[in-house]
Amino acid sequence: MSPAGSNRRKKYIINKKIQVKYAVLSIAMLLVYTLLFLIALFGPPIYLFTSADVPSAVRVEAANSVLLINSYLWPGIGVIILLFGSLSIFITHRIVGPIYAVEKVIGRITDGDLSARVRLRKNDDLREFGQAMNRMLDKQETTLSVLNEQFLKVSSRLREKTPGQASQSDPDIMAELGAIEKILVPYGFGNTQRKEHRQR
């Protein structure tokens, strides 16, 4: 069992490609909404300011309101864009982090470590996916263990035979056992003693 907190991810940018992509998409959507907001906010005063039919006092008042809004709005928009960009990195971290953990487990299993399991934090997204993958890995480990037991029983029986008892089908059986052993060996199973029977 790992010590408490050892599976905690230390950095927020885990998969730069995915996280930057979604940060850029978030900022782009925010810019589109901001543009629509600006059109709705500045459209009427600008129309009043540029319209020749409007009295000059109303035009001056519209110009002053545009300048006043403008002085407060742009710094606020800049802060909001930075905030949303940072927030999107945090949000994607909650998705990309578990994906990264699953990729690490798949790599360990590919290298033959059947004990590897997905360990996600309590509030991680995709937690159910990690649990489903762990159930699948438990079943795979059990299946390989049963297959290994059967393999060891059969190869043991063949080793116990004397050369005079060996049947013509033994080379075929040994070839099939060899194919099974190739599947089992990367996961720490198999029986290398089987070669003794072949050499008798």
- Do residues 114 and 46 both lie within one domain? yes
Residues 162 and 81 in one domain: no
CB 49 within 8 A of CB 59: yes
Predicted local confidence at residue 111, as pLDDT: 87
pLDDT per 10-residue tile (average), the chain, 200 residues: 50 78 84 85 80 82 81 82 82 83 91 88 83 91 85 77 56 75 77 43
- 122-136 burial, b at 16+ Cβ within 10 Å, e below that, comes to eebbbeeebeebbee
With respect to residue 21, please indicate whether it lies within any of the assigned structural domains: yes
Q: Are residues 105 and 151 in the same domain?
A: no
Structural domain count, the chain? 2
- Whether 173 is covered by a domain: the verdict is yes
Measured at the alpha carbon of residue 192, what is the angle toward residues 189 and 193, in degrees to the nearest 5? 125
Q: Are residues 177 and 99 in the same domain?
A: no
Task: Give the domain extent around 73.
Answer: 16-125
CA distance 18 to 89: 10
- Give me the pLDDT at residue 195, please: 41
Say if 11 falls within a structural domain.
Answer: no
Q: Is the pTM of this model over 0.85?
A: no
pLDDT at 138: 93
